[in-house]
Amino acid sequence: MRRHEFQPGRLIAGLVLLAAGVLYLLDAAGETDLPWFAVVPMAMGGLTLAGLVGMTTYAVRRDRRDRISESSER
């Protein structure tokens, strides 16, 4: 498999949704008593954070590509 770019936004989204899934599994197993309104904001906040991190990562990488292409044109 070829190496690919590290994408921190996707990592954050995956970890947040994994945590939400684990919390729901614990609730279904009877280990915790978790109201639905505790997990939904956590998941939405995590997805929002992941989106912001993804946009920031994209902007930084685009800026680097632009700088490299400008320096190679000169």
- Ordered DSSP codes for 21-69: HHHHHHHHHTS----HHHHHHHHHHHHHHHHHHHHHHHHHHHHHHHHHH
pLDDT value at 56 more than 90:
yes
What per-residue confidence (pLDDT) applies to 18? 96
Which position has the higher pLDDT, 71 or 61? Answer: 61
Instruction: For 1-50, write each residue's pLDDT tens digit.
Output: 788 888 999 999 999 999 999 998 999 998 888 887 888 899 999 999 99
Question: What is the pTM (predicted TM-score) of this model?
Answer: 0.79
What per-residue confidence (pLDDT) applies to 74? 63
- Contact predicate 49/9, CB 8 Å: no
What per-residue confidence (pLDDT) applies to 70? 72
- Spatial distance between the Cα atoms of 48 and 15, rounded to a whole number of angstroms: 13
- Contact predicate 65/17, CB 8 Å: no
